[in-house]
């Protein structure tokens, strides 16, 4: 996912931060590539992030242009166009690496249509992070990592898909650059 407006960060090019290494979006792409788990990597972009799309295309990454109507709408649009299993990963995870990607892919459950990875709010808080989106799972307040494994070939109607959750308290999926505070915290580590 690389088509956000950057509204929480108040920067339209949030996925291009960390230029002293390489843009965050490319860090995520490189982690996916190095995992050697995928035959194809497609980045969902939108008119809200033209520079991100340009960098991805220059790096040889296939893009899927969405209208930029929000995560749920744009992701559903993409899922309707594919007929295979999909790993959805936000484009702003600065600690994601190929080992974590491989672990998540190998943990998949073939009977599950949609598995989303959560981190507990307590774990997120211990990292100095916060999230405005929470859910209760296994009697714990949890936050979405943005990572999901979706079996698009078995989904007929996206309105009726049951989302299954798994808690994975790991900094590599918990640290998501959503706000300037997140970026500043990352800069101090």
Cα dihedral 59, 61, 65, 68 in deg (nearest 10) = -70
Gap between the Cα atoms of 56 and 23, Å rounded: 10
Q: What is the pLDDT of residues 68-110, one digit of tens each?
A: 999 889 999 999 999 999 999 999 999 999 999 999 999 867 7
Which domains does the chain possess?
A: 14-188 (3.90.550.10)
What pTM was estimated for this model as a whole? 0.86
State whether residue 16 is helix, strand or coil: helix
């Amino acid at each position: 996912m690389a088509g956000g407006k950057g509204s929480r960060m108040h920067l339209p090019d949030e996925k291009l931060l960390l230029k002293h290494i390489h843009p965050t979006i490319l860090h995520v792409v490189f982690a996916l590539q190095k995992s050697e788990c995928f035959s194809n990597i497609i980045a969902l972009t939108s008119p809200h992030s033209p520079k991100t799309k340009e960098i991805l295309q220059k790096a040889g990454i296939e893009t899927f242009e969405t209208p930029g109507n929000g995560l749920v709408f744009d992701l559903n649009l993409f899922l309707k166009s594919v007929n295979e299993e999909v790993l959805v990963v936000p484009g702003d995870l600065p600690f994601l690496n190929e080992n974590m990607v491989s672990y998540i892919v190998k943990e998949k459950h073939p009977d599950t249509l949609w598995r989303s990875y959560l981190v507990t709010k307590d774990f997120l808080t211990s990292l100095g992070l916060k999230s405005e989106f929470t859910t209760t799972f296994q009697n714990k307040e949890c936050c979405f990592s943005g990572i999901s494994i979706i079996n698009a070939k078995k989904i007929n109607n996206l309105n009726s898909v049951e989302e299954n959750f798994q808690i994975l308290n790991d900094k590599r999926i918990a640290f998501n650059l959503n706000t300037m505070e997140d970026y500043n915290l990352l800069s101090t580590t």
